[in-house]
Amino acid sequence: MVKSVMVAYALWAVAGPLGLHHLYLGRDNHALLWMLTLGGFGFGWAREVLRIPAYVGEANRDAEKERKAPPTMGPPPVGPVRFVGQVCVGIYFGTVALIALNSLSFFYLIVLPLSVGAGVHLVSCIGQQTSDLQKTLTTCLITSPIFYGSSLSPLPISLAASVTAAQYRRVKAPRTPGYTPKLGGYYEDAWKKVLEILLKEYTEKEKEALKVFSLDTEASLEDITRSYRGLAKTWHPDHNPSKEAEAMFMKIHEAYEVLQRRHKPRRFT
């Protein structure tokens, strides 16, 4: 269906910062970015008052290309606005993660670089372009340990990821007939991998916690609590005043918290 400039402008005016006009034009990645940043922090939304006719033209040309199946084009030119956007959104995603999730033991090695990489890749997939998600995330994972523990680490990680995304930029392949845009669809496999990594990390922590209490995976909460109380009494600093006892007591307490979360009842509302 041919897209209308007037409809796009109306949606831009009504709910532009939420990306409604981009959803109408089939720009699902752009819409997702606007939802997460409220229209590119307002600046991107305001800039689009001049860009909407071009967006509509692209959407209508895409529909024509789907029917004609054009040959694959070479790499698109590097856009300074896109590059700056990649860096800024990567920093934004990393900062949000830094505020919300920095208590995780694997934060600087896994969560932070993946968060920054997701922000950079989201911008790199806007419009007619895309990039190599795997290479972008790999760059983030390699760069992150260099700045381990620094609150400024999202900046260099985002810069490195943006350079990689620009290096591996390419034109999106033509959509197959009957394709329906799926909001955030480019990230489905990536987030599955992220969840697998986090689940594996948590499983390893559970195994280590069970070793502290000399229990197996079939142990009940009563078994864990009984073992915890016995070990806590033995290694409590009041009864055993030494640095070794203090460290062991903390280890026992942390292990108990990990296993408590596994057995905590889930509430459904």
pLDDT digits (tens, 9 = 90+) for 6-46: 888 888 888 888 888 888 888 887 887 888 888 888 888 88
DSSP state of 43: H
Which residues are within 8 A (CB) of 123 and not within 5 positions of it... i.e. 6 or more apart?
Answer: 33, 82, 85, 86, 89, 90
Tokens of 209: 């916690």
Distance CA 67, CA 69 (A): 6
Distance CA 114, CA 194 (A): 8
**Better pLDDT: 173 or 12:** 12
What pLDDT, on a 0 to 100 scale, did the predictor assign at position 42? 84
Q: Could you tell me if 159 and 147 are in contact, meaning their C-beta atoms sit under 8 angstroms apart?
A: no
Q: What is the pLDDT of residues 138-161, one digit of tens each?
A: 999 999 999 888 889 999 999 999
Task: Give one word for 126, left, alpha or beta, with left for phi > 0 and alpha for psi -120 to 50.
Answer: beta
CB 145 within 8 Å of CB 108: yes
3-state SS assignment for residue 29: helix
- Half-sphere exposure at residue 163, Cβ-oriented, CA atoms within 13 angstroms: 8
The DSSP output letter for 70 is P
- pLDDT interval class at 269 (50, 70, 90): very low
What structural domains does the chain harbor? Answer: 5-68 (no CATH), 80-181 (no CATH), 199-263 (1.10.287.110)
The tens digit of pLDDT for each residue in 56-82 reads 888 887 666 555 555 555 677 878 889
Residue 71: its pLDDT value, please?
A: 52
Residue 40 neighbours by CB under 8 Å, 6+ apart: 33, 34, 47, 85
pLDDT for res 117: 93
Helix axes 188-212, 243-263, angle to 10 degrees: 130
Assess contact for 153 and 107: CB atoms under 8 A: no
pTM: 0.58
* Cβ atoms 121, 85 nearer than 8 A: no
